[in-house]
Amino acid sequence: MIRFIVVMAVWMKKKATPSKRRLWGAIILIALLLVAAVLAWSMLMKPAANTDQDKKALPSPTVNYNPATEQEKADSEQHKKELEQKAKQEQAGPQLGVKSVIPIISSWGQAPDQKDLEVAAFIPGSYEDGGTCTLTLVKAGAVITKTTAGHKDVNRTSCARFIVPYGELTTGTWEATVGYGSATAKGTSAKQQMEVR
């Protein structure tokens, strides 16, 4: 890059008058200073390489050491606005009565060994221990019901996994729903078809 600036300077020198050459000299000097500053900055930003920890670290050619983009800064600012809004909602106090929730049947499948049907579910909008989760399976008039306890997960209530022994099932398609009930929340999931083989 320096070579390029020198070439440009020579080119300008041939084309300009003496006064303009002085101007060009100043410009080139500024450009060189800019380059030096950038190089120095990049050296400062380069991770130190003398500690034991550094020796353990892998080279990270893909790590982006650029300053946050305007978009990223805007994301942070937007987040704070959402925090303010959430704080206001929280200040308004909790919802009175029993909140209506819609449990989600998150995963299901048969265990590879015993073929028991395993069903997992959680309740968005709820974060508590002590509620009751109820799995209902229906097929051609047959009804199977299993209950487990709800518990706090990272940011929601999750039901302990339902396990329906294979011996209680017949092969074919079962229609499943999960209900949740507690002192503060109540609701039933959408129906979910589950194939039992």
Partner 1 sequence: MRVRLRLRLAVLAVVAATLVAMPFSGTTQALSGSQFQPGRIIDDAIFFNSGAMNTATIQAFLNAKVPVCDTNHAPGGGFSAPFICLKDFRQDTPARDVSPGLCNGFGAGNKSAAQIIFEVAQSCGVNPQVLIVLLQKEQGLVTDTWPWPTQYRSATGYGCPDGSPCDAEFYGFFNQVYSAAKQYKRYAMNPNNYNYRAGFNNNIPWHPNGACGTSNVFIDNKATAGLYNYTPYRPNDAALNNLYSTGDGCSSYGNRNFWRYFNDWFGTTFGTVLIKGSGPTVFVRGSNSSVAYGIPSGEIMRNYRLGGIPVTGVSDSYLSTLNTSSMLTTLYKRPLDQTVFLADSGTGYGIPSGAQCTKWGRTCSIPSLIADLPYAVTDPMTVGPPLGNLMMFDNTLFALESGAKRPFIDRNEQPLSPWAGQGIITIISPVNAAQSGGQALIYDRKFLKVMGTGSIYYHSGGSYFTFSGFENFKNWWDGSVVMSDKYSTFNSSPPAATILPGFATTGSETSMVGSKNRLVLPGSTTAPSINTTTYPQLTNLIQSKPVVTVNDTKALAFPNGAIVTVRGNTFRPIPTLADLRLLFAADSVIPVPMAFLEAYPVGKLFVTSGRVVKPNEAGGSMYLYGSDNYLWALGNLGELSSSLAWTNSVINAPFNVIEHQGIKIFASMMKMNGNYYAVQPNGAVRQLAGTLLSANKDNIAMPVTDVITSKVANDTRPVGFIRLDNGTIFKVESSSIRPIGALSTYFSLGGNGANTIHMSVKAVSAFNVGSPL
Residue 178, Cβ neighbours under 10 Å: how many? 27
- According to the binding rule CB under 8 A, does residue 76 interact with partner 1? yes
Name the DSSP class of 141: T
Interface with partner 1 by CB under 8 A: which range of 132-140, 142-150, 155-163, 164-172? Answer: 155-163
Q: Give min distance, CB of 93 to partner 1, in A.
A: 11
Whichever of 16 and 98 has its CB closer to partner 1, that residue is 16
- According to the binding rule CB under 8 A, does residue 35 interact with partner 1? yes
Nearest to 159 by CA among 174, 146, 168, 169: 146
- According to the binding rule CB under 8 A, does residue 3 interact with partner 1? no
Interface with partner 1 by CB under 8 A: which range of 82-90, 134-142, 165-173? Answer: 82-90
- According to the binding rule CB under 8 A, does residue 174 interact with partner 1? no
Q: Give min distance, CB of 141 to partner 1, in A.
A: 25
CA distance 121 to 194: 14
Number of residues counted as binding partner 1 (CB under 8 A): 75
Q: Within positions 95 to 124, which residues make up the interface with partner 1, using CB under 8 A? A: 101-102, 104-109, 118, 120-122, 124
Whichever of 79 and 141 has its CB closer to partner 1, that residue is 79
- According to the binding rule CB under 8 A, does residue 135 interact with partner 1? no
CA-based R_g, the chain, Å:
33
Interface with partner 1 by CB under 8 A: which range of 5-13, 134-142, 164-172? Answer: 5-13
Nearest to 178 by CA among 195, 166, 165, 194: 194
- According to the binding rule CB under 8 A, does residue 1 interact with partner 1? yes
Whichever of 161 and 186 has its CB closer to partner 1, that residue is 161
- According to the binding rule CB under 8 A, does residue 62 interact with partner 1? yes
By the 10 Å C-beta count (0-12 exposed, 13-18 middle, 19+ buried), 174 is classed as buried
Strands (DSSP E) along the chain, which ranges? 99-100, 104-110, 117-123, 132-139, 142-152, 157-159, 162-164, 172-181, 185-188, 192-196
Whichever of 41 and 170 has its CB closer to partner 1, that residue is 41
Residue 128 gets the label, from left (phi > 0), alpha (psi -120 to 50) or beta, of beta
